[in-house]
Amino acid sequence: RSQLLWAKAGYTLDSSFGIAAYRKYSSGGGYPNISLSTPLPGIPKPVFASVDGQEKYETKITTLENGLKVASQNKFGQFCTVGILVNSGSRHETKYPSGIAHFLEKLSFSSTAQYGSKDEILLTLEKHGGICDCQTSSCNDYTTMYAVSAEVKGLDTVVSLLSDAVLQPRLLDEEIEMTRMAVRFELEDLNMRPDPEPLLTEMIHAAAYRGNTVGLPRFCPADNVDKIDKNVLHSYLRNYYSPERMVLAGVGIEHEQLVECARKYLLHVKPVWGASSATSVDLSVAQYTGGIIKMEKDMSDVSLGPTPIPELTHIMIGLESCSFLEEDFIPFAVLNMMMGGGGSFSAGGPGKGMFTRLYLNVLNRHHWMYNATSYHHSYEDSGLLCIHASADPRQVREMVEIITREFIQMAGNAGEMELERAKTQLKSMLMMNLESRPVIFEDVGRQVLSTGKRKLPHELCDLISNVTAGDIKRVTTKMLRSKPAVAALGDLTELPSYEHIQAALSSKDGRLPRMYRLFR
């Protein structure tokens, strides 16, 4: 029947080349039997668009008279992402009650001098098809980001609104009370959610940098919720929300236009807390201490339902890596990619990520391991490379030994194919992430805030391509000299002592010291 339909349309089915090729025929003759994989004769050769792999637009940066940096990256399209990044976060709370950055994140885009409520702000943005968001970094970092995505023609309104939200918040008593409720709810949720990732990340940072900088709590401790009020917030804002600690970043707009708006709304504006006095800014450098933080917790009823998650114990072991300003940052990023890992159930179907070491050596060999994933957290003065693993509480000792052995094996020679695959994967991930406008915005803002300039993607790809097996061996050997940081959550009866974990990471094969028990 289908052949009949094709025949009516003037086509004939031809399978002489082993593939179905449809041949158009007419009274004046037609094409001879030509396969679909062969160019048609007499037709000009097609010219395809080529990509040179480099961005057409460079990142432009201007510093205003008051020290505020304006950075932009043009990008085709009718929408733009614009925001203010502030060098302020939980690491700066040494002299304050911990949790201020968490409070400010929740209070963002509330009532300001110009707008009576959050609803008013959202309605204003809606006229330009806009949305807004504020976040402190996902790790204990130093950046608070206020961002808006909207139509390009609404740029003036957007910058005016951002200036108001960052420098003129009203911080009304009822808003602070609502924030207290939101923070309490988030803390409860953190302890109840089946995914322990945020809690473990908080714990490993507290263990690795005990009591300083990136080791200070990102989430507001329950005891501090009632201590934070308008006066405490203003005192903090006066120190850290000064123009020289800010970047106005934009993607998808003309640089001159953004600078003009910055001059109009951010140059001579007096903040609601008065003149900034950046006299007592905390300039502490991260001090890596290593150590262990344990949280005994019943995980048997974390996720009930038709397919409950079995009771698991979660362990995270980390070692000091390096700052993102150092040259070794790129080899560490490649090493992290080479370790890879994930859950034992791969949502993308069999084969997804199966070539990384934590899949090949850990999850594929030990069926009882529920998860093994590598993470790399990097800051302006330090870094942490860690492996998170989870398994049944009875197999915690064995699981820890498997992880310590993986750390030791990192210092071995990386195979050429394995290394090339990790480098290609890292470049691919970098480029695919930078397809998204909000990601470009964050990249521009963060790089300009921390270094005053921006490395373009093709420069980073060149650096990744130059990483050798020798670099991986060198950075791993240096990393293995540091004391481990350990975070443990769940039933910890079988957890080896910190000294034993340290001994395993100092040994040649990564094995834990043998324990002899008279009674089992």
> Could you tell me the pTM of the whole model?
0.86
- Find all residues with CB under 8 Å of 352, minimum gap 6, and list them: 342, 346
Same domain (yes/no): 72, 177:
yes
Same domain (yes/no): 123, 235:
yes
Task: Tell me the CATH number at 160.
Answer: 3.30.830.10
Same domain (yes/no): 396, 479:
yes
Three-state DSSP class for residue 342: strand
pLDDT of residue 24: 47
Using a CB cutoff of 8 Å and minimum separation of 24, what contacts does 302-310 make? 302/192, 302/193, 302/194, 303/194, 309/194, 310/370, 310/392
Bridge partners of 136, per DSSP, are: 144
Residue of 400, 421, 340, 425 lying closest to 374 (CA atoms): 340
pLDDT of residue 55: 57
Task: Identify whether 453 is part of a domain.
Answer: yes
pLDDT of residue 30: 58
Same domain (yes/no): 263, 346:
no
Same domain (yes/no): 438, 314:
yes
Task: Identify whether 520 is part of a domain.
Answer: no
Task: Identify whether 111 is part of a domain.
Answer: yes
- Number of separate domains in the chain: 2
Same domain (yes/no): 176, 262:
yes
Which residues does the chain have with pLDDT short of 50?
5-6, 9, 12-28, 140, 347-350
DSSP 80-140: EEEEEEEE-SGGG-TTS-TTHHHHHHHHTTS-BSS-SSHHHHHHHHHTTT-EEEEEE-SSS
Task: Identify whether 99 is part of a domain.
Answer: yes
Is the distance from CB of 220 to CB of 106 less than 8 angstroms?
no
Is the distance from CB of 112 to CB of 39 less than 8 angstroms?
no
Task: Identify whether 344 is part of a domain.
Answer: yes
Same domain (yes/no): 361, 248:
no
Task: Identify whether 108 is part of a domain.
Answer: yes
Same domain (yes/no): 319, 213:
no
Beta strand spans in 259-312 (E): 291-296
Task: Identify whether 187 is part of a domain.
Answer: yes
Rounded distance between C-alpha atoms, residue 339 and residue 331, angstroms: 12
Task: Identify whether 7 is part of a domain.
Answer: no
pLDDT of residue 27: 43
Same domain (yes/no): 239, 307:
no
pLDDT of residue 503: 97
pLDDT of residue 306: 74
- Find all residues with CB under 8 Å of 371, minimum gap 6, and list them: 341, 342, 343, 344, 388, 389, 390
Same domain (yes/no): 184, 303:
no
* Residue indicated by tokens 């031809």: 14
Same domain (yes/no): 251, 296:
no
pLDDT of residue 18: 38
Is the distance from CB of 324 to CB of 305 less than 8 angstroms?
no
Full domain range(s) for residue 248: 60-267
Structure tokens at 193: 């959610």
Same domain (yes/no): 226, 306:
no
